[in-house]
Amino acid sequence: MKKLILVAIIAVFAFAAKAQSNTEEITLIQSVYGMEKRDLIAKHMKLEVSQSDLFWQMYDEYEISRKEIGMKRARNIEEYAKKYESLANVDADAIMKTTFEVNNDFIKLWDKTYKKMAKSISSVTAAQFIQAEIFLETMVRQELAMQIPLIGEFETK
């Protein structure tokens, strides 16, 4: 687990350090992060040979949905950055609504993936994977929270 933590921290910092506000770069970074993440998951999971092919097929399906949610979050952060200095009630409502949707989308994806993996592979393998995913998502959220200013943190003049 220590290796998982170290690699996750490195991946998060690499992701955060390279993040830009245009969509092409975010897509590229998510693609690179997804490949690094796949290696991380491969090192963490203790798959039996009979489970491997099915697990990676489910993982690839999961990653497509996870990246879509990540893009939704990135667009929301971009919108927040654009509106930060002149944030109106309507803007705050829209940004928070999307934030809640993103969080709920992750929970729904984890639930759906867990159920599918538990049924097709095993509950232990599914729990191991979802636990790692929640850990990684928590690391990403922590890094983002440290990078994004709170409303009113910087006085505008």
Q: What are phi and psi of 116, to 5 degrees?
A: -65, -45
Average pLDDT over residues 102-123: 98
The larger pLDDT score, comparing residue 12 to residue 139, is at 139
Q: Determine the pLDDT at residue 88.
A: 95
Average pLDDT over residues 123-128: 97
Q: Determine the pLDDT at residue 107.
A: 98
Confidence of residue 131 (pLDDT cuts 50, 70, 90): very high
Average pLDDT over residues 54-73: 96
Tens-digit pLDDT profile for residues 71-110: 999 999 999 999 998 999 999 999 999 999 999 999 999 9
Which CA distances in Å does 80 have to 26, 37, 77? 16, 27, 5
Average pLDDT over residues 40-52: 89
Query: What pTM was estimated for this model as a whole?
Result: 0.77
Evaluated on CA atoms 27, 4, 131, 59, the torsion sign reads positive
